[in-house]
Amino acid sequence: MSERTLCMIKPDGVERNLIGNVLTRIETAGLRIVALRKLRLTTAQAEGFYTVHKERPFFQSLVSYMTSGPIVAAVLEGDNAIARWRELMGATNPANAAEGTIRRDLALDVERNTVHGSDAPETAGQEIPYFFNTMEQQG
Ligand code: UDP
Ligand code: MG
């Protein structure tokens, strides 16, 4: 079943000129980029996006990192897109990420792990409209 997921290229990826590298992996895997945008999150926007983690010890550091520079947000579409994008990304901690995944190949550490992906249909349904309005999702 075709579905959509939210992708972010995080500040460490944008800073190291890895936008093209990540987007090429997405397209090579057969996922379609339906919306794409570069922006810098405010503190309030980063806190809102990661509100599910607000009680976690890494929250403040994560928000500080996510606002440290621009990010790229994208909506990806395809059969089973949520799981396929998570598979391309690899495990949260690059030390545990499988060979050939983005995080294994490109990430710096568990925080600066280069990419984000929605983890379920419900979260994708919240995260996509956080960045893209209806008209921007028509691609
Ligand atoms: N994170 C961190 N330390 C941790 C766990 C997570 O800094 O111990 C950061 C990391 O950038 C991660 C984000 O918080 O991508 C969100 O964590 P989550 O568990 O949702 O991982 P993800 O879904 O991104 O794999
Ligand atoms: Mg997550």
The string of pLDDT tens digits covering residues 42-99 is: 999 999 999 999 999 999 999 999 999 999 999 999 999 999 999 999 999 999 999 9
**Of all residues in the chain, what percent are helix, strand and coil, respectively (each to 5)?**
45, 20, 35
| pLDDT at 3 (0 to 100) | 98
Mean pLDDT of the chain: 98
The answer to whether 76 touches 86, Cβ cutoff 8 Å, is no
pLDDT classification of 11: cutoffs 50, 70, 90: very high
Say which DSSP state 98 is in: P
Q: Which of 54, 39, 68 is nearest to 130 (CA)?
A: 39
Asked whether 62 lines ligand 1 (CB < 6 A), one says: yes
80 CB under 6 A from ligand 1? no
**Which of 62, 52, 73 shows the shortest CA–CA distance to 4?**
73
| Cα within 13 Å of Cα(94), Cβ side | 17
Q: How far is the CA of 118 from the centre of ligand 2 (A)?
A: 6
Ligand 1, atom 2: closest residue by C-alpha: 111
Q: What is the model's pLDDT at position 91?
A: 98
pLDDT confidence of residue 20? 98
Can 53 be counted among the known catalytic residues?
Answer: no
Q: How many CB atoms lie within 10 A of CB 139?
A: 12
For residues 82 and 121, the answer to whether their CB atoms sit within 8 Å is yes
